[in-house]
């Protein structure tokens, strides 16, 4: 649930804090087991979560929750924190606006925002290797990703998916109405920009379309587009960019695009640990008096460290790895520290010189292995301007 308060002077919506949040990502484990305690139909994959966000019976724990029960919304007669896991993958996001101390108005119901892409490592017999990534901009590039969204939920918008949500709602101790998405006379789409490299220009683009049932003109008195930093926990910071458009007149089925560009100096000093931003578009419609709101999250991509390592080496015998990085910024990367870590090597930490703007940094590092077998080395570079730049390399160490 997302709550907003309307400013009486400007008409702008201000976000109110709630106990609910939508995380950018969350990681859990599955284990395969027989569930004689639950009866037929619940054997197989079970969710166990070592890092749940809420307590269960006074303890931070979660599971084992049958994946089949999560998909069907069968939460009523079981324990094992099924409601929590169901909400993680299939919650509806409902936005409200506070009109007065006792009056609220529902703005929007988004039934498809949560649980879009549920992934696991593809069971191909290969280790998770080098710079493979589960981020969308790497999909289809030998990323090692296996999509298991269909195992947790029915296809968005289908009757089965809505019935599963209704079924889950029946398990609540409180009587809850399952909110369905209402017909919107004005629809907005925030055009995707995931994967833009840090240091590049970032386009904020919103499409607005009139799809009114009465086929009449709609006038948007104010279209407000705001950008704010976002943490992976769903919390947002202060808005650092805003654009307002007034008196937009749209005929039936007419669509108009509104676009502005953020330069690196506009966003670099505002973004937090994961370099994520939240874009919110709010449209106030004159003819109906309704307010429509649309939100999307985007993450800028950090540069990668390229790591070249020999295919093999010997225990206790030093070997060299070569690392390189392209500085994507138009200013130097300062106070840089590079780390090389792995289970089985003598870890390395080195301070290095500043990396000039838009230049390529190359460096050699001497490594000594303490054990034999396959070792994955993690190379990390931190500087004032960009944190946690990573690269990986594997080496087979002989006795």
Contacting residues for 169 by C-beta, under 8 A, at least 6 apart: 73, 176, 177, 178
| DSSP 3-state of 317 | coil
Q: What pLDDT, on the 0 to 100 scale, is given for residue 135?
A: 62
> Could you identify the residue written with the tokens 């540069």?
303
pTM of the model: 0.75
For the chain, the domains span 183-299, 306-397
Phi/psi at 279 (nearest 5 deg)? Answer: -110, 125
* pLDDT given at position 194: 76
CATH of domain 183-299: 2.60.40.10
Positive or negative: CA dihedral 332, 337, 341, 345: positive
C-beta of residue 114 within 8 angstroms of C-beta of residue 23: no
Give me the pLDDT at residue 5, please.
52
Q: Do domains 183-299 and 306-397 have the same CATH topology?
A: yes
pLDDT reported for residue 143:
66
**pLDDT recorded at residue 4:** 52
- pLDDT mean for each 10 residues of the chain (399 residues): 52 63 83 91 92 72 90 83 88 79 77 85 72 58 80 90 86 60 82 87 96 95 94 85 96 96 94 89 92 89 94 95 96 96 92 96 95 93 94 92
> What torsion, rounded to 10 degrees, do the Cα atoms 275, 202, 242, 13 define?
-60
Which residues are CB-neighbours of 151 under 8 A, at least 6 positions away?
45, 67, 71, 118
On whether the CB atoms of residues 104 and 118 are closer than 8 A, the answer is: no
Tell me the angle at which helices 82-90 and 159-169 cross, rounded to the nearest 10 degrees. Answer: 140
What per-residue confidence (pLDDT) applies to 174? 61
Report pLDDT for 17: 63
CB atoms within 10 A of CB 5: 15
At residue 16, the pLDDT reads 59
Tokens 């724990």, residue?
61
Q: Which residues pair with 378 in a beta bridge?
A: 341, 392
pLDDT at 363: 96
| Cα(21)–Cα(18) distance, integer angstroms | 8
Strands 2-6 and 93-98: parallel
- pLDDT computed for residue 140 by the predictor: 59
Second-level CATH architecture of 306-397? Sandwich (2.60)
CB 171, CB 75: distance < 8 Å: yes
């Amino acid at each position: 649930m997302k709550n907003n308060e309307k400013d009486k002077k400007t008409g702008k919506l201000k976000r109110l804090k709630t106990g609910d949040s939508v995380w950018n990502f969350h990681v859990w484990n599955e284990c395969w087991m027989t569930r004689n305690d639950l009866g037929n139909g619940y054997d197989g994959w079970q969710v166990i979560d070592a890092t749940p966000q809420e307590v269960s019976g006074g303890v931070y724990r979660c599971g084992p929750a049958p994946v089949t029960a999560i998909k069907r919304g069968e939460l009523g007669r079981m324990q094992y924190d099924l409601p929590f896991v169901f909400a993680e993958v299939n919650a509806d996001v409902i936005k409200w606006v506070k009109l007065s101390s006792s009056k609220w108005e529902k703005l929007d119901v988004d039934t498809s925002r949560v649980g879009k892409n549920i992934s696991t490592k593809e069971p191909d017999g290969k280790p998770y290797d080098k710079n493979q990534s589960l981020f969308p901009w790497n999909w289809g590039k030998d990323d090692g990703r296996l999509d298991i969204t269909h195992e947790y939920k029915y296809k968005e918008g289908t009757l089965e998916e809505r019935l599963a949500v209704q079924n889950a709602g029946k398990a609540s101790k409180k009587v809850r109405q399952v909110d369905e998405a209402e017909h919107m006379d004005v629809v907005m789409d925030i055009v995707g920009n995931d994967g833009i490299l840090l240091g590049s220009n970032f386009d904020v683009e919103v499409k607005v379309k009139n799809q009114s049932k009465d086929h009449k003109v709609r006038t948007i008195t104010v279209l407000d587009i705001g950008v704010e930093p976002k943490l992976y926990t769903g919390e947002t910071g202060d808005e650092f960019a805003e654009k307002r458009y007034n008196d937009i007149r749209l005929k039936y089925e007419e669509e108009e695009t509104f676009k502005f560009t953020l330069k690196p100096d506009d966003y670099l000093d505002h973004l937090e640990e994961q370099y994520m931003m939240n874009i919110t578009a709010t449209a106030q419609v004159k003819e109906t008096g309704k307010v429509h709101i649309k939100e999307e999250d985007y993450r800028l991509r950090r540069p990668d460290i390229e790591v070249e390592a020999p295919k093999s080496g010997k225990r206790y015998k030093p070997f060299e790895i070569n690392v390189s990085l392209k500085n994507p910024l138009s200013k130097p990367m300062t106070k840089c520290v590079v780390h090389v870590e792995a289970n089985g090597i003598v870890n390395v930490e080195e301070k290095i010189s500043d990396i000039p703007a838009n230049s390529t940094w190359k460096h050699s590092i001497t490594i000594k292995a303490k054990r034999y077998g396959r070792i994955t080395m993690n190379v990390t570079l931190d500087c004032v301007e960009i944190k946690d730049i990573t690269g990986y390399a594997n080496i087979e160490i002989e006795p």
